[in-house]
Structures are given as structure tokens and as C-alpha cells.
């Protein structure tokens, strides 16, 4: 049975630490960690979660997607575990979009991200996958990729006036839809 993990919040040093490559995806400890992360993400209503957020300094995250107020056309994507992920290319074209984070509760920020990226990762069964990601899923990947490099979305906000409370975010989004 998966265990719900406690999510580290901004200020905890684990979120800023270096992370290790996963040498053996089949290791039962890694498989159990992936199951725990999936359960923890679903419970917290997230669309992604990275290992450092559950206090594990490893190069592993989960990317998911579902329609949401900011991206009503975001695809429904089965949560996917990505091990030792690499960002192979990123478009020069960028787009500003609102982000939140399970480790930064109650805050949203406008972050500029590449609209199109090429990635490589291992699946949880150890298979190498290459993929091109766009839009919301590309944004989630870049957000999670930052996590395994010790970065949080407020580090990417260009103007601190574009950091807002969850309540103000909901007001802004509902008035621009």
C-alpha cells in the first residue's frame, strides 16, 4: 500500500539540495517511492511532484495533466513517472503562465517557460523514452525539472509583483476567462 508522504515546504533545505541519478529503476525502494509519490500527488490535487518534495534527493518526478481553469484545453494525461530526465531542446518561443507548487502553498506566480521542449527519460520499467512536449505539459515538465535542480517557481518569477495569493489568482483567472 502506498504511503502518503509529507511534502517539504519552501525553506526546507531538501528542496535546494543536489539530486542523485537513479542507478536501478527496478529497485523495490524506487518502485515503492514512485507509488508513494503518485498517491501523495493525487491526494494533494497536484499535476506533478518531484522526489525532493517528498524528502528524497533523487532525479525522479511525475508529470500529469488535466483540464484546469488556466489551461481549459490541457490534455488528460495519465500520471507518468520520469526517471533521470533530460531536457534535450527547448524552444526560443516562451509563454508566461501561472504556476503553483505543492511546496509553496497558497501562492501563485507568473512564470515564463518554453512552449515546446524535447525530453528524454526512463520509464519506471527502465525503458528509455524520448518525447516532444507542448503547452501545459511542457510547463509541468520544466517546473518539475527545476525541482530536481534545486529551483522553485518563485526563483523564475521575473517581477515579484507577479506573485499573488491563491485567492487573488482565482479572482484574476475568473476575470480573464
Please give the positions annotated as active site: 144
Q: Select 9 or 125, whichever has its Cβ closest to Zn ion.
A: 9
Residues 19-48 that bind Zn ion (CB under 5 A): none
Q: Which stretch binds Zn ion (CB under 5 A): 3-11, 82-90, 94-102, 121-129?
A: 94-102
Contacts (CB under 5 A) with Zn ion, residues 142-171:
none
| Alpha carbons within 13 A on the beta-carbon side of 131 | 15
Q: What is the DSSP letter of 19?
A: -
- Which residue, 101 or 117, is less far from Zn ion as judged by CB? 101
From residue 166, how far is each of 26, 63, 65, 92, 109 by CA, in Å? Answer: 39, 22, 20, 29, 9
Strand partners, 140: none
- Cβ proximity of 120 and 90 under 8 Å: no
| Cβ at position 109, least distance to Zn ion in Å | 11
- Grid cell locating 133: 512536449
Please identify, among the stretches 35-43, 58-66, 101-109, 116-124, the one whose residues bind Zn ion according to the rule CB under 5 A.
101-109
- Please select the residue that binds Zn ion; options are 34, 101, 107, 148, rule is CB under 5 A: 101
Among 62, 42, 41, which residue's Cα sits nearest to residue 50?
62
Q: Which is nearer to Zn ion, 58 or 101 (CB)?
A: 101
**Least distance to Zn ion, CB of residue 144, Å:** 7
Residue closest to Zn ion (Cβ): 101
Sign of CA dihedral 71, 42, 123, 121: positive
Under the criterion CB under 5 A, does residue 7 sit at the interface with Zn ion? no
Task: For the CB of residue 99, give the shortest distance to Zn ion in the complex, in Å.
Answer: 8
Q: Nearest to residue 139, comparing CAs of 103, 98, 85?
A: 98
Name the minimum Å distance from CB 5 to Zn ion: 14
Nearer to Zn ion, 17 or 27 (CB): 17
Its sign, for the CA torsion 116, 69, 173, 12, is negative
Binding positions for Zn ion, rule: CB under 5 A: 101
Amino acid at each position: 500500500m502506498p504511503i502518503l508522504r509529507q511534502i517539504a515546504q519552501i525553506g526546507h533545505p531538501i528542496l535546494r539540495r543536489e539530486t542523485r541519478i537513479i542507478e536501478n529503476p527496478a529497485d523495490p525502494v524506487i518502485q515503492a517511492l514512485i507509488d508513494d509519490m503518485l498517491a501523495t500527488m493525487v491526494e494533494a490535487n497536484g499535476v506533478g511532484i518531484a522526489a525532493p518534495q517528498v524528502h528524497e534527493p533523487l532525479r525522479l518526478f511525475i508529470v500529469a495533466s488535466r483540464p484546469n481553469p488556466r489551461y481549459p484545453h490541457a490534455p488528460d494525461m495519465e500520471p507518468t513517472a520520469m526517471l533521470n530526465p533530460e531536457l534535450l531542446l527547448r524552444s526560443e518561443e516562451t509563454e508566461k503562465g501561472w504556476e503553483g507548487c505543492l511546496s509553496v502553498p497558497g501562492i501563485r506566480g507568473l512564470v515564463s517557460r518554453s512552449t515546446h521542449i524535447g525530453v528524454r527519460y526512463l520509464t519506471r520499467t527502465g525503458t528509455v523514452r524520448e518525447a516532444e512536449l507542448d503547452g501545459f505539459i511542457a510547463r509541468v515538465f520544466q517546473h518539475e525539472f527545476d525541482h530536481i535542480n534545486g529551483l522553485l517557481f518563485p526563483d523564475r518569477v521575473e517581477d515579484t509583483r507577479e506573485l499573488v495569493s491563491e485567492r487573488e489568482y482565482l479572482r484574476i483567472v475568473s476575470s480573464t476567462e
